Amino acid sequence: MKKNKGVVTLIVTVLVMAALGFVAIWGIGTEKAGSASGIRQGLDLAGGVSITYQVVGEEDPSAEDMNDTIYKLQQRVQGYSTEAQVYQEGTDRINIEIPGVSDANSILADLGRPGTLYFIAQTDADGNQNYSYTGAGATGFSLNKTIDELIADGSIVLEGTDVEDARGGSASDQLGNSQFVVDLTFTGEGTKKFAAATERAYKGGVNSETLGIYFDADFVSVPTVQAVLSDGKAQITGMRDFEQAERIASQIRIGGLKLELEELRSNVVGAQLGEEAVRTSLLAALIGLVIIALFMMIVYRIPGLASVFALIIYTCLIVICLNIFELTLTLPGIAGIILSIGMAVDANVIIFARIREEITAGKTVRNAIETGFQKALSAIVDGNVTTLIAAFVLGIKGSGTVKGFAYTLGLGIVLSMFTALFVTRMILRAMFAVGLKDVRFYGTNKEKATVNFLKKKTLFFAGSIVVIVLGFVFMGINSASTGRVLNYSLDFVGGTSTNVTFNEDMDLAAIDTNVVPVFSSVTGDGAVQVQKVAGTNEVIFKTRELNLTEREQLNSALAEKFGVNEELITAETISSTISSEMKSDAVVAVIIATICMLIYIWFRFKDIRFAASSVAALVHDVLVVLAFYAVAKVSVGSTFIACMLTIVGYSINATIVIFDRIRENLGSMMKKDSLEELVNRSISQTLSRSIFTSLTTFVMVAALYVLGVTSIKEFALPLMVGIVCGTYSSVCITGALWYVLRTKIRKA
């Protein structure tokens, strides 16, 4: 790159940074795409709508039917937000909380409806009309019988269970006009049924029969059958817009609700956390970002400065993309993004370490820059692709917070790779072109002795085993004393929801300071979730499950201290917000993701021992952090899953860097070198990267822990343990484990 071009590149970079910063912070106009103010926020940051449904027609619905209905409703509300919560209240009520929504009426009709699809023949076996026509369009048709009667006499020719897939879309009608439709694909059995039904309706080519499509107690389409349809596909027409088409398609895919529901009440609820919580989290992000920027410039000089520019661009892009892709942001989500900022430094550290190695080997600065990026590419790509595979699987198979975490993780990975491999490289080339060519601006490596890590492998293995076993011991102790192996919060085990109407309107800060301690003194637990009902003095407190004595004690304390009318205090037992199906979805997703990562590493490294060692390190880090949860009795809540998944991604990324160096050194291995020396040298060569990356990430999380609110501290503390553990396992465990497998097991 020539000097003039370098100057232009730097000027353009500064202008782009300014433009992105403006769009990210203020947007264009009010809450436009790219504006931070337009990002969807979760219940904890912005509140939303809380809707309570009651089961109709059954006084004591079965647990199986309630669980099935809750799970299907959870799937439906994914369309509104991945952070929506669905849980049982009492014995026959279901509560739904959706962030970022203030108009309950806009979603009530969709969520509580049965969502059942029927294809109904026009006449029954005796020739009687199953439905009659009294008006215009599909809405003019009405049933002459009940659904049960139609099922009994065989007039229901297909049901929703015969549909394999349903998708909203658009198509052209006979006049060439565009219309919104729902495209259906039937199962194998459904295809046979539909072919037989259309053949009967067609009656050998006479267009006299219709096949009514009946959905949610209404006819949505009653087309005339003009041919025998045997390709297993059908189409529902008459949708008013794409949103309706996609919503109906989603309900058909999910299936009908086992229970009929009616609205009991709906409230607009305020943010669970106040402005102070958001402010301190953002302050932690700023402090962490400044510390990382100073660290990078001090340690890596000019390349470090280039990475700071790239990091600013990365931060702005992730804010803009959150808006563009309409991802819901929660406070743990903010923590996850702040964490990703720290991890984004990783690729730059790998590159700059490579550049220094090349300069130390005698190459010119220009050649060192190009070679450094080339040699760092495989480690960056492999590390990020393995984590991206995990994010993809979690996004497809996961639900709830797992899906939301996967979206944010995937976005962060793609943007970090883009800024590291393209933006940093472009800026660094421009800086070199304008005259910053002296070796002193880039630095060199001092001669370092190879550390014999493998000599102490037995000690490392034994230490890890002891910590993991200790964790299981404490789980047993916890189970014996409390009945639970971990300190599960109400997100996992449910609890009691207490509605209190105060005599005055209190803000969240006052509630946290004055009221929450009253609840904590009764429950003996500081985990209290708070929600205000908009426009009223009513506040909802969610705690562990309270018995009758504790409820009476709490009511008396509230009446005595705040003058609350005890008759206006109501309490209901609520189920966990993380259902058993969501837990199983998360477990299945993690297992599939782990298998996919193993296969990818096996394919890339051409040796299953690399893959096996990577997965073993991953399991090691998860078990160590789990042991910390058990020993320290840290609350296991909704952030637990995100925390463990973050550690998985961090662990695999750190391991890949060392394995990439081992693979490279194997390719140039001399006969005089022993395999033990090669592994020790590879770990030593990447040691600075391991330490520096962990340090920068640790700083970001530590800032969160120092300045964050309780829920953030509970997220940050295990993460700090995970970061330290991930560094330890990548340096002390993975290389040694691969060496043992290499020397004991033949190549597969």
CATH number at residue 57: 3.30.70.3400
Q: Mark which of 188, 223, 256 sits at the end of a domain.
A: 256
Other Cβ atoms less than 10 A from the Cβ of 416: the count is 25
Measuring CA to CA, which residue among 395, 394, 421, 384 is closest to residue 600?
A: 384
- Is 305 within the bounds of a domain? yes
pLDDT: which is higher, 27 or 644: 644
Q: Are 431 and 588 in contact (CB under 8 A)?
A: no
In a domain, 354, yes or no: yes
The span from the CA of 76 to the CA of 257, in Å, is 11
Rounded to whole angstroms, the Cα distance separating 641 from 629 reads: 12
Which alpha helices (H) appear in 496-607, and where do they start and end?
Answer: 508-510, 516-523, 548-562, 580-605
Phi, psi (rounded to 5 degrees) for 324: -60, -45
CATH of the domain at 219: 3.30.1360.200
Instruction: Give the end of a domain, one of 202, 229, 256.
Output: 256
**DSSP state at residue 451:** P
Q: Are residues 239 and 164 in the same domain?
A: yes
State mean pLDDT over 98-126.
Answer: 72
Which pLDDT belongs to residue 615? 87
pLDDT at 10 over 60: yes
Is 478 among the domain residues? no
Q: Predicted confidence band at 695 (pLDDT cuts at 50, 70, 90)?
A: confident
Instruction: Please report whether residue 432 resides in a domain.
Output: yes
Between 183 and 648, residue with greater pLDDT = 183
Q: Are residues 676 and 619 in the same domain?
A: yes
Domain that holds residue 522: 495-574
Asked whether residue 336 falls in the same domain as residue 281, the answer is yes
* pLDDT for the residue 29: 45
Same-domain status, 317 and 445? yes
188 assigned to some structural domain: yes
pLDDT in tens, 561-591: 998 898 889 998 888 877 777 778 778 888 8
| Global pTM value | 0.75
In a domain, 59, yes or no: yes
Task: Give 383 or 359, the one with higher predicted confidence.
Answer: 359
Both 337 and 391 in a single domain? yes
The pLDDT value recorded for residue 310 is 92
| CATH number of the CATH domain containing 561 | 3.30.70.3220
pLDDT tier at 33, thresholds 50, 70, 90? very low
What is the mean predicted confidence (pLDDT) over 279-306? 87
Decide if pLDDT at 38 tops 70: no
Top-ranked range on mean pLDDT: pick from 468-472, 502-506, 723-727: 468-472
CB proximity list for 453: less than 8 A, separation 6 or greater:
460, 679, 680, 683, 684, 731, 732, 735, 736
Whether 323 and 451 map to the same domain: the answer is: yes
pLDDT of the residue at 105: 67
On whether both 325 and 410 belong to a single domain, the answer is yes
Residue 729 has pLDDT above 90, yes or no: yes
Diameter of the chain measured on Cα atoms:
95
- Among 687, 692, 698, smallest CA distance to 731 is for 687
292 and 440, same domain (yes or no): yes
Mean pLDDT of 358-364: 91
Question: Does one domain contain both 593 and 689?
Answer: yes
CB burial string 397-414: b at 16+ within 10 A, e below: bbbbbbbbbbbbbbbbbb
Strand pairing class (233-239; 178-186):
antiparallel
What is the dihedral angle through the alpha carbons of 544, 549, 555, 559, rounded to the nearest 10 degrees?
-140
d(CA 234, CA 168): 12
Q: Are residues 292 and 345 in the same domain?
A: yes
CB 637 within 8 Å of CB 714: yes
In terms of domains, do 658 and 623 share one?
yes
pLDDT (average), residues 374-382:
89
Share of the chain above pLDDT 70, in %: 91
Burial 153-174 (b: 16+ CB within 10 A, else e): eebbbbbbebbeebebeeeeee
Beta partners for 530? 541
Last residue of a domain, one of 526, 547, 574: 574
pLDDT in tens, 222-276: 877 777 888 888 887 778 788 778 877 877 776 667 777 888 888 878 766 656 6
Mean pLDDT value across the chain? 83
Is 30 among the domain residues? no
The average pLDDT across 393-420 equals 81
Instruction: State how many domains the chain has.
Output: 4
Mark whether 205 and 227 lie in a shared domain.
yes
Residues contacting 657, CB < 8 A, separation 6+: 350, 379, 383, 686, 689, 690, 730
In a domain, 698, yes or no: yes
Report the pLDDT value the prediction gives residue 128, as an integer from 0 to 100: 82
Q: Specify the pLDDT at position 165.
A: 82
- Euclidean distance between CA atoms 562 and 545, whole angstroms: 23
